């Protein structure tokens, strides 16, 4: 190792690193964390008891007191059937330009840890994906993780945003939207794109995520009993932490989350969660389905929830509805709505584990990931 490399120290994250980590976030255009954000990630995290013992909060690269690299090691609670698992998720892998050659040390350190039952990455981008492959992390075998389905709800705005993303000046892009919008609307009407209105009546109520209550505990207990697949734990306290607990300073002012719960006898039979953001650069308001849980994977109930998410998106003026990482029954219902589809730029889902768990997770049937998993929707 050369002299420059030996001067770069890799160590565990401490509370004193918050300012340096915030500076790194700013350098790469991320929203910088503050003390409240770190308290939410670690102190308020319902999975914090998993961190007892050998579970660092993450690692940093440091030279002469200057932080030049960071990776968080977020604890999340999971279940494989009736078995509870501690899962470590890498979050915010960042290196400054002068530390770029040392960034692989952060990934290596994350993958070497032995405290968690499972290491799970859900947000690898086109630059990071080859790195996980190079370190021989396994690709999650669940089908459908490499595509995003979408339905334009405002044809003019969607076309204009697509043109802007391709580098077309905004004034011209808006004209393209005005001219192309009628054709896209006609095509969508001809193909009857969109989740159809359900024929049978079920009660679906929209609530704020802070109002998630004990009924969701009952739903989670029932769901884990009916399935042997790996799922992120969805107790009421975890759902509230995930969707409602993030400090206001760390939130986008345009981020809106709504929970749709489907009532039955007894209790709730399922729920869906939508997230809406306004992207100012594209002048686009996007609604995403970020979680969907239904007892028995009942397609009729799934249809009801997806339709309510769609109609909510229309009502608030969202320009496009997106759904990805759907389980088979939900995927089938979504396909019946004749969505457009696009492939993701890179494979995002990797894992590593040991012992008998390694053999169990080779099968696609043992995976049940949604955008709720990892840090995809945090």
Domain borders along the chain are 3-139, 147-155+191-343
Confidence grade of residue 77 (pLDDT, cut at 50, 70, 90)? very high
Token pair belonging to 5: 């490399």
280-302 pLDDT tens trace: 999 999 999 999 999 999 999 99
| Residue 197 pLDDT exceeds 70 | yes
Confidence grade of residue 253 (pLDDT, cut at 50, 70, 90)? very low
Q: Which pLDDT belongs to residue 179?
A: 97
| Residue 116 pLDDT exceeds 60 | yes
Angle at 245 between CA 312 and CA 11, to 5 degrees: 130
CB distance 349 to 140 below 8 Å: yes
Mean pLDDT confidence for 132-144? 96
Q: Which pLDDT belongs to residue 51?
A: 72
Alpha-carbon span 241 to 41, nearest angstrom: 9
Which string of DSSP letters, residue by residue, matches 178-212? HHHHHHHHHHHHHTT-SPPPPSS---EEEE-GGG-
Q: Which pLDDT belongs to residue 44?
A: 93
Alpha-carbon span 50 to 116, nearest angstrom: 8
177-187 pLDDT tens trace: 999 999 999 99
Q: Which pLDDT belongs to residue 323?
A: 98
Q: Pairing between strand 66-80 and 230-232?
A: antiparallel
Which one, of 346, 356, 347, 352, lies nearest residue 137 by Cα? 352
Q: Pairing between strand 320-324 and 284-294?
A: parallel
Percent pLDDT > 70 in the chain is: 96
pTM, 2 dp:
0.94
Which one, of 217, 323, 233, lies nearest residue 274 by Cα? 323
Which one, of 356, 308, 352, lies nearest residue 113 by Cα? 352
Percent pLDDT > 90 in the chain is: 85
CA atoms within 13 A on the CB side of 139: 14
At CB < 8 A and 24+ separation, what contacts does 256-259 make? Answer: 256/316, 257/208, 257/209, 257/290, 258/206, 258/207, 258/208, 258/209, 258/312, 259/206, 259/207, 259/208, 259/209, 259/211, 259/212
Q: Which pLDDT belongs to residue 254?
A: 66
Q: Which pLDDT belongs to residue 251?
A: 47
Q: Give me the helix-helix angle, 299-315 and 328-336, nearest 10°.
A: 60
The CATH code of domain 3-139 reads 3.40.630.30
Helices (H) and strands (E) in the chain, counts: 12, 15
Q: Which pLDDT belongs to residue 347?
A: 95
> Which fold is adopted by the domain 147-155+191-343?
Aminopeptidase (3.40.630)
Which string of DSSP letters, residue by residue, matches 114-140? -SSSEEEE----TTTHHHHHHTTPEEP
Q: Which pLDDT belongs to residue 366?
A: 96
Q: Which pLDDT belongs to residue 248?
A: 66
């Amino acid at each position: 190792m050369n002299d420059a490399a030996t001067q770069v120290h890799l160590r565990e994250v401490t509370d004193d690193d918050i300012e340096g980590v915030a500076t790194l976030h700013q350098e790469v255009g991320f929203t910088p964390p503050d003390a409240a954000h770190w308290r939410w990630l670690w102190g308020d995290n319902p999975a914090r008891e998993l961190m007892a013992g050998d579970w660092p909060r993450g690692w940093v690269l440091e030279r002469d007191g200057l932080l030049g690299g960071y990776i968080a090691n977020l604890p999340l609670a999971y279940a494989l059937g009736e078995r509870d698992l501690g899962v470590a998720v890498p979050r915010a892998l960042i290196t400054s330009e002068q530390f770029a050659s040392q960034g692989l040390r952060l990934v290596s350190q994350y993958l070497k840890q032995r405290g968690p039952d499972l290491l799970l990455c859900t947000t690898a981008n086109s630059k990071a994906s080859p790195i996980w492959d190079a370190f021989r992390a396994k690709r999650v075998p669940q089908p459908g993780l490499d595509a995003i389905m979408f339905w334009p709800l405002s044809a003019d705005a969607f076309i204009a945003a697509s043109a802007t993303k391709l580098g077309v000046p905004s004034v011209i892009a808006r004209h393209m939207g005005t001219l192309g919008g009628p054709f896209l609307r006609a095509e969508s009407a001809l193909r009857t794109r969109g989740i159809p209105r359900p024929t049978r009546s079920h009660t679906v109520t929209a609530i704020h995520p802070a109002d998630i209550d004990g009924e969701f505990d009952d739903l989670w207990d029932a769901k884990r009993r009916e399935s042997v697949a790996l799922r992120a734990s969805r107790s009421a306290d975890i759902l509230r932490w995930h969707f409602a607990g993030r400090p206001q300073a760390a939130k986008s002012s345009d981020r809106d989350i709504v929970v749709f719960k489907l009532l039955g006898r007894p209790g709730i039979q399922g729920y869906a969660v939508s997230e809406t953001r306004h992207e100012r650069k594209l002048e686009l308001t996007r609604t995403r389905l970020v979680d969907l849980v239904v007892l028995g994977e009942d397609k009729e109930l799934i249809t009801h929830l997806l339709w309510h998410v769609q109609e909510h998106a229309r009502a608030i003026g969202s320009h496009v509805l997106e759904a990805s990482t759907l389980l088979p029954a939900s995927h089938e219902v979504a396909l019946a709505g004749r969505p457009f589809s696009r492939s993701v730029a890179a494979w995002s889902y990797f894992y590593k584990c040991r012992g008998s768990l390694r053999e169990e997770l080779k099968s696609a049937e043992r995976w049940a990931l949604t955008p709720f998993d990892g840090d995809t929707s945090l």
